[in-house]
Amino acid sequence: MKILVLHGPNLNLFGRREPHIYGTTTLAQINERLQKLATELGVELDILQSNHEGALIDFLHEHIDAAQGALVNPAGLTQHGVPLHDAIKAMPFPVIEVHMSNIAAREAWRAHSIISPAVKATVQGFGPHSYLAALRSLVESLREAAQTA
């Protein structure tokens, strides 16, 4: 089973950017933890971080027939990424929106996600654990769906 992980704009700065909100865990550490969990779950991850919306969309398109699910942290595209929203909706597999912080508890302009209507679920507010909870939940739901199919 292949799961995509997409990290949006500025997430390469995790660990340095606003540590009072996002903590000090780096993106490399998050990816390391995800890879470890993926190994335990017996799944393969394909991970991309990009500061460019088009690269994230291209990554989804390139894997449309190869992936079974995806985790997406749209970051700054959460409120404005209409093309990313449309690309996610076009995917034949479930996508989980992930955020380190609880965006609903932050600034009013940040609280609304235009990505959320395109995804199966959202996991947010648990710092780096948001990614791990999302991966575990996605894999378990895919396995349950396969058993009932």
Catalytic residues: 22, 99
Cα distance between residue 131 and residue 30, in whole Å: 8
Residue whose entry in the numeric block shows the structure tokens 């710092």: 127
Cα distance between residue 77 and residue 80, in whole Å: 5
Distances (CA, A) of 55 to 83, 94, 106, 135: 11, 20, 27, 22
> To which H or E segment does residue 62 belong?
helix 53-62
